[in-house]
Structure 1
Amino acid sequence: MATGRESGRLKDANQKRVLDEAARRRRMRKALEALELDNFHDDPHADLVMSKKVPKFQETLESRGGRKKKTRSAEYYKQRFRKTFAQLVEEDQNYNPDPPNYITAQAAPSKVPERHFCAVCGFISNYKCIPCGARYCSVRCLGTHLDTRCLKWTA
């Protein structure tokens, strides 16, 4: 009696729930929104006021030759007044309402097939997770995906 061997990965995949395309799109949209919220945040130290009792070491070094006016670098203003992508697009739309602008820009479809990248490491991927549809490139990335990402932290 010869019994056929079967892959443990495929056997486990049959027991997991498989998301339909709409659920996969919702999950991807939620992940992108979470990344956008994570990337932009207000400066937590913007409203701090320095105490007058704190020693001013920089000023003591500069005060030997005379008192200099404090200058702020361009980096200070970049951090203080940075904007989200949505704010920049809206500002562009208000500043330049006539085409061409970001909203009206279009490109022809690509003539080459689209490339797929690993959701874990970013390399080119050839494989797709059966339950959630995320891409992975190797068994190691699949293990990481299953341990930390696959169908976790989503509603």
Structure 2
Amino acid sequence: MSARESGRVKDGGKTRVLDDAARKRRARKAVEALEQDNFHEDPHADLVMSKKIPKFADSNEKPTRKKKARSADYYKMRFRKSFAQLVEEDANFRPEPPNYLSAQAPPSKFPERHFCAICGFLSKYTCIPCGARYCSVRCLGTHLDTRCLKWTA
């Protein structure tokens, strides 16, 4: 009678395994890509409506021109800053401690908790090629199908 063999262990030699430096580089690039996605200008902000568009209002009504009121959200989006800009501004505004750059906390008394990269629950397992955490076979399948080594350069 032969023992059951894990397909993950059996196929482990075929996959690329990253060292810690490559994993950190990959994580840093992913964070930088997310940072770039978060702070793009609105592509539709500069669109000008054509004056040739037909108006479907009653023709006997005289249109009144009203100044368009802009909400606070408009100014929040228009003048928003990246995290790096906010940290630099904080350091210039308050050069003496306490500020963001000088804030420190002692290490935790409790062990580090690891969370699943797919669903966010507590995880027990680590992907061999990329080091991502997962909690179940279902999350491992999702990770292998969609995320594993996707963002490596």
The match for 1:93 is: 91
Shift of residue 135, structure 1, vs aligned partner: 0.2
Shift of residue 130, structure 1, vs aligned partner: 1.1
Asked whether the 8 Å contact 2:26–2:151 carries over to 1, the reply is no
Q: Find the aligned partners of 2:85 and 2:96 in 1 and give their Cα distance.
A: 18
1:42 and 2:41 are equivalent in the alignment: yes
Q: Find the aligned partners of 2:34 and 2:132 in 1 and give their Cα distance.
A: 17
The match for 1:60 is: none
Q: Find the aligned partners of 1:108 and 1:77 in 2 and give their Cα distance.
A: 38
1:75-94 alignment, distance < 5 Å: 75-94=73-92
Q: Find the aligned partners of 2:55 and 2:72 in 1 and give their Cα distance.
A: 22
Name the TM-score, length of structure 1 as normaliser.
0.84
- Alpha-carbon RMSD across the aligned residues, in angstroms, is 2.4
The match for 1:149 is: 147
Q: Find the aligned partners of 1:39 and 1:22 in 2 and give their Cα distance.
A: 26
Q: Find the aligned partners of 1:110 and 1:103 in 2 and give their Cα distance.
A: 20
Name the TM-score, length of structure 2 as normaliser.
0.85
Asked whether the 8 Å contact 2:118–2:142 carries over to 1, the reply is yes
1:1-155 alignment, distance < 5 Å: 2-53=1-52, 68-155=66-153
Q: Find the aligned partners of 1:34 and 1:90 in 2 and give their Cα distance.
A: 20
Secondary structure, in 3 states, of the residue corresponding to 2:10? helix
Mean CA deviation greater in 108-117 or 38-47? 38-47
One-letter amino acid matched to 2:42: D
Q: How many matched pairs?
A: 150
One-letter amino acid matched to 2:102: T
Q: Find the aligned partners of 2:32 and 2:91 in 1 and give their Cα distance.
A: 22
Post-superposition Cα deviations, 1:63-96, rounded to whole Å, max 9, x if no partner, equal 88x7654321111101111111111111111111
Classify 1:25/1:67 alpha carbon distance in 2 versus 1 (closer, same or farther; 3 Å). closer
Q: Find the aligned partners of 2:2 and 2:139 in 1 and give their Cα distance.
A: 31
Unaligned stretches of 5+ residues in structure 2: 57-61
Secondary structure, in 3 states, of the residue corresponding to 1:88? helix
Unaligned stretches of 5+ residues in structure 1: 58-62
